[in-house]
Amino acid sequence: MIILKKLINKLKESLVKVDETSLSKISHYFEEFNIASQEDVPAIELKNLNIDFGETLAVDNVSFKIPEGKLVTLLGPSGSGKTTTLNAIAGLLTVTSGKILFKGKDVTDFTPQKRKIGFVFQNYALYPHLSVYANIAFPLKNDYNWQFKTFLKREKARNEIRILYLEKIGASKEEIVELRNAFSKWELISEDLPHKLNKEYARLVESYEKAHTEFKLAGVHETSKISLLTKNVLKTNEKLRKDSKEKLARITEKYDSDLKNNLLRTNLKEAEILKNIPSKYIKYESLAHDKISERTKELNLFAAELMSVNLDELILKDRKLVVKLEEKVLKLLTRYKFIEKQKEIIDEYAILKKEKQATYNLAKKEFSTTLKSDRDYNELKKDALTLPLIAKKHFYALVSLMENKYKLKEMMQKERKGEISSILNDEEKVKLKEFSKDNISLKKAIHNEVMEVANRVEIVKILQKKPTRLSGGQQQRVSIARAIVKKPEILLMDEPLSNLDAKLRISTRQWIREIQQSLGITTVFVTHDQEEAMSISDIIVCMSTAKVQQLGSPLDLYNKPKNQFVARFLGMPEMGLFPSELKNGKLYVAGVAMKNISISEKSNSSLNVGVRSEDYIIKKSTDKYMFEGEVIVQENFGKESKLVVKIENVGRINFLLDNSENYKVGDSIYFDLPIHKLHIFDAASEERISYEFSK
């Protein structure tokens, strides 16, 4: 496929012509892209991102920016939307609404291939039949864009070598600048012009994509409503079955008890209601919609009649039959109600889908017309196809002109053969050697990249092994090596350490941090482990219930949590919360008045006061203290101990103390709250409230 693409490009190149108009356009784009590259924009930006799966809103209006070169962790419990957000950044799923920008460029509708990312999955996804070396080399052998970049890198090195000699044999500064500029234009145009075209296409397709998404979502929401209805019916039927079973057991138990204690009535009879039961009460019939409502009324009346039967008057067999018949009638009633409700949903969405399809068809037609008629887009499309080839052709024409003018090839050939001595000085020879490192074949370039990344991740010794012969930690390193070998601008990692044991997890996360910092790759890391997030992140995005709860540095989130969720989710052991209230401007924590604290934002209200487990001020029984509790759990970690303390009117609270404090289960513990380190939250909204204290 790559070879075919190269052949097609060769053919196109032979057909294009270099003219002044084209060169003028290339210069115009070159200036535009140079200005854009100097702008300080975030590496990744999410704007009002929503992802709706029908039954659940997986990502709810998420917005944040990720600076270039930072390691950002999406942290949250299961179901918080962190992996869904990562998959949206990767382009693995379609967003319902919102924008995803990479360095200011809209990539919302780009495929993963066009986003130029590296991805490390939770499960390592290595090819078991290939060696470690082949696994790492695989993306390089199959990526046309990487191979083109490598080709440009080689051509740049050759051009710099060419310039070294041209400068020595009399080429003017103007000629050298012209040659360098011609290459720079070819390089920048080849990279940024297709991206500009993709961005323009994304702008044009926006309305069509939105209409298409809304049309699809109408169907998804219809299916999800019917699915939810079906689940509720199944739950109802299961409950009817259980209730019936329990009722039968109670009937049998009561009958046996009454029989044993001579409490049974002497004139037990058969149930009249069981004689000649119409089949419509026990068998499902396919009815017209207007008849279903009538049937449900009949079944409701019959069910009520069954429930009113006095079972104590019946023989045991008929008592059981009445209960079983009641279950059957109620299940049949549930089925007819399900059909009624299902019909309502289908009718409701039939109108909505018709409207959305009409909007979608119109948007599709308009988009198709726009693609053909939009002059700016079509001109840009033509430019993206031809200008990179023209820039290349112009560069090589200039090279040919310079080489012929100064007989460069003949001179370099004589030097290689030793017919003349080198015209370069020692400093220039060092530069030549440096440039020559990039003047290599594609095969050599692939080998160099594999070996470089293998050295970085310390897996050189296992390059010839198959993945099945590697440990979990080794497989993870190979997976990361394969993700970073192309030197992606963005690296995405979805819980990459979850399959490793505790000790290996710690060493691997430190190693990931070192690799990320040394390469300077913008990295998005997903985890539910708050200790992991705190240890390696520049920025943490804490998520819950599909929303971003707080964004900031690890210490920002730890020391100033925005709400109770963040406060309790971050920190081990979990932060303790004391029920409190604000009365007449005074703060009472679990009934104890707090002096020297003022809260100006609130009047009388219920609050929760949080304290980190390591911040309590431990007192002796002979001292003046605020609170007393009983130690009910003690865990020794070596240098420190975790205590679970039961406090009256508060409940269980975690303490983290160094082992100079020797507490045992059953001991009393006396303590004060640190008034300068309190975390105060509104009990209703759970949002943080600021306060002031005086010593």
Tokens of 123: 């499960």
Beta bridge partners of 629: 647, 669
DSSP string, 252-280: HHHHHHHHHTT-S-TT-B--GGGTT--GG
Residue 440's contacts (CB-CB under 8 Å, 6 or more residues apart) are 154, 448
- Predicted confidence at residue 40, as pLDDT, reads 67
Tokens of 573: 């052991």
Peptide bond into 573 cis (omega under 30): yes
Does CATH place domain 572-693 in 3.30.70.260?
no
Picking from 546, 506, 513, 563, the residue whose alpha carbon sits closest to that of residue 529 is 506
pLDDT (average), residues 128-144: 92
Tokens of 403: 């080489």
Q: Would you say 69 and 522 are in contact if contact means Cβ atoms under 8 Å apart?
A: yes
CA pair distance 155, 309, nearest whole angstrom: 94
Q: Where are the alpha helices (DSSP H) in 281-315?
A: 289-307
Helix (H) or strand (E) holding 566: helix 564-569
Q: Would you say 659 and 639 are in contact if contact means Cβ atoms under 8 Å apart?
A: yes
> Distance of CA 668 to CAs 491, 548, 638, 654, 656, Å?
51, 41, 22, 14, 15
- Predicted confidence at residue 251, as pLDDT, reads 92
- Tell me which DSSP letter residue 579 carries: E
3-state secondary structure of 286: coil
CA pair distance 187, 34, nearest whole angstrom: 12
**pLDDT tier, 633 (very low <50, low <70, confident <90, very high otherwise):** very high
pLDDT above 80 for 600: no
pLDDT in tens, 397-442: 999 999 999 888 888 888 888 878 888 888 988 999 999 999 999 9
- Predicted confidence at residue 695, as pLDDT, reads 67
Backbone angles phi, psi at 14, to 5 degrees: -70, -20
- The Cβ of residue 107 has, within 10 Å, a number of other Cβ atoms equal to 23
- Predicted confidence at residue 5, as pLDDT, reads 66
DSSP string, 218-258: HHHHHHHHHHHHHHHHHHHHHHHHHHHHHHHHHHHHHHHHH
Tokens of 465: 């092994």
3-state secondary structure of 663: coil
Q: Would you say 533 and 73 are in contact if contact means Cβ atoms under 8 Å apart?
A: yes
pLDDT above 70 for 322: yes
Residue 653's contacts (CB-CB under 8 Å, 6 or more residues apart) are 576, 578, 611, 629, 644, 645, 647
Which residues of the chain does CATH 2.40.50.140 include? 572-693
CA pair distance 189, 385, nearest whole angstrom: 11
CA pair distance 592, 566, nearest whole angstrom: 26
CA pair distance 562, 690, nearest whole angstrom: 10
pLDDT (average), residues 221-236: 90
Q: Which amino acid is at 654?
A: N
Q: What is the CA radius of gyration of the chain?
A: 37
In which residue are the tokens 């090195």 written?
Answer: 157
In which residue are the tokens 């130690």 written?
Answer: 631
- Tell me which DSSP letter residue 281 carries: G
pLDDT in tens, 45-67: 998 898 988 778 899 889 999 99
pLDDT in tens, 149-177: 999 999 999 999 999 999 988 889 999 99
Chain center to CA of 121? 11
**pLDDT tier, 595 (very low <50, low <70, confident <90, very high otherwise):** confident
CA pair distance 253, 595, nearest whole angstrom: 64
- The Cβ of residue 528 has, within 10 Å, a number of other Cβ atoms equal to 17
Helix (H) or strand (E) holding 611: strand 605-611
Chain center to CA of 505? 21
pLDDT in tens, 8-43: 766 766 667 888 888 888 888 888 888 766 556 789
pLDDT (average), residues 684-689: 92
Least confident window among 106-115, 304-313, 338-347:
106-115
pLDDT (average), residues 482-493: 89
- Predicted confidence at residue 37, as pLDDT, reads 62
DSSP string, 420-475: S-----HHHHHHHHHHHTTS--HHHHHHHHHHHHHHHTT-GGGTTS-GGGS-HHHH
- Predicted confidence at residue 602, as pLDDT, reads 67
Residue 367's contacts (CB-CB under 8 Å, 6 or more residues apart) are 204, 205, 207, 208
The set of long-range contacts for 419-423, using a CB threshold of 8 Å and a minimum separation of 24, is 423/165, 423/168, 423/169
Q: In percent, how much of the chain has pLDDT > 90? A: 49
Beta bridge partners of 105: 102
CA pair distance 425, 307, nearest whole angstrom: 107
Residue 366's contacts (CB-CB under 8 Å, 6 or more residues apart) are 207, 208
